[in-house]
Amino acid sequence: MTVPLSILDLSPVSAGSTPQQALRNTIDLAQHAEAWGYRRFWLAEHHFVRVASSATTTLIGLVAAATKTIRVGSAAVQLGQHTSASVVEAFGTIDALYPGRLDLGLGRSAHRLAQFRAAGTKPVPIPQRPTEVRDGVVIPPPFSPGQVLDTSRLAATFEALQLPGAQSLDYTEQVGQIRDLLAGTYRGSDGVPLHAVPGEGADVELWLFGSSGGESAQLAGRLGLPFAANYHVSPGTILETVAAYRDSFHPTDHHPHPYLVVSADVVVAEDESKAKHLASTYGHWVYSIRSGAGAADYLDPDTAPPLTDQQERLVRDRTTTQFVGTPASVAARLRSLQQLTGADELVITSVTYDHEDRLNSHRLLAQEWGLQHVRAA
């Protein structure tokens, strides 16, 4: 089955470039994605690192203004760093001007601060489960927070994104608040009705995002919401994540059946050797994240030194599950991922040092996949 493709972008900053250029690149990619037939353009939320999509909702509005038909959304708004009202009002504002095109994706990364703090300075655990290959899809050992080399920056980041003394709501409770605000059924303290203006009645699609079989996947199923499973972030847990969503799914009028999107990190080029060269600094970028320093500038593969053995071990689950190669070889592997997970849609994320190489990667894949309206870049 040929399923739709979408794009997830982080506005990555390449070495020697600027956040301003990264944002211009994002707008350019979104416009090309629309012309090439991609279904959605999702933007990720990260802070205090070298990606420029930190003000995600603002950027969603700018992308919506620069495009005409492609759906635009968050992948994902990190609850715990935003109030429910601010999320609904922001998306309601964009929807008022670009109605019917927004996907409001919600995530719980900000609720995992205690998990990272608990990891502290424990030694890096040695994964016990060997890497498996299921129907051509690589399933590595799961990555755990205890493997992050230094969690102090993560803790400081989460704290900087909250007012002093503020406490995050329970994730399930906050998702419920957002649903109530959109539906016009929200009640504040003492049962006082409050109405988000704009926001109430906004024509936005609510999604949950998750990287495990835990709360996000199960809540999405119980509420009958569409769900995005992050193979590109946590390939070792993809099967239990998908199973948890499907097993907990309760049909609704809007979604009588589960709707699952699975992500993949992809680099496509005209030949295998070029694709591997373009992707050769992906491991460096992942290592900068897992070292605890946060995502660094994306390095030039022509000048970056190779990773050390220790560095490579820390990122091996991500480098071995990146989809790199010619259009035909990558499309074949993506079809295997889709068939293994039963995904209704795949979302493609791609980072290369040069913006033109990233455009070319998405164009070649769209062409090979058979998306409509594909034209030369």
- Which pLDDT tens digit goes with each residue over 303-337? 999 999 999 999 999 999 999 999 999 999 999 99
pLDDT at position 121 is 46
Better-predicted residue by pLDDT, 200 or 143: 200
How sure is the predictor about 127, in pLDDT bands with cuts at 50, 70 and 90?
low
Domains of the chain: 5-369 (3.20.20.30)
Q: How confident is the model at residue 263 (pLDDT cuts 50, 70, 90)?
A: very high
Summarize pLDDT for 330-350 with one digit per residue, the tens: 999 999 999 999 999 999 999
For the entire predicted model, the pTM comes to 0.94
Q: pLDDT at position 372, please? A: 72
pLDDT above 50 for 123: no
CA–chain centroid gap for 29, Å, is 16
Token couple for 149: 């080399």
- Show Cβ contacts of residue 237 under 8 Å, excluding neighbours closer than 6 positions: 142, 211, 212, 213
| 114 vs 129, higher pLDDT | 129
Instruction: Please give the mean pLDDT across all residues of the chain.
Output: 93
263, β-bridge pairs: 347
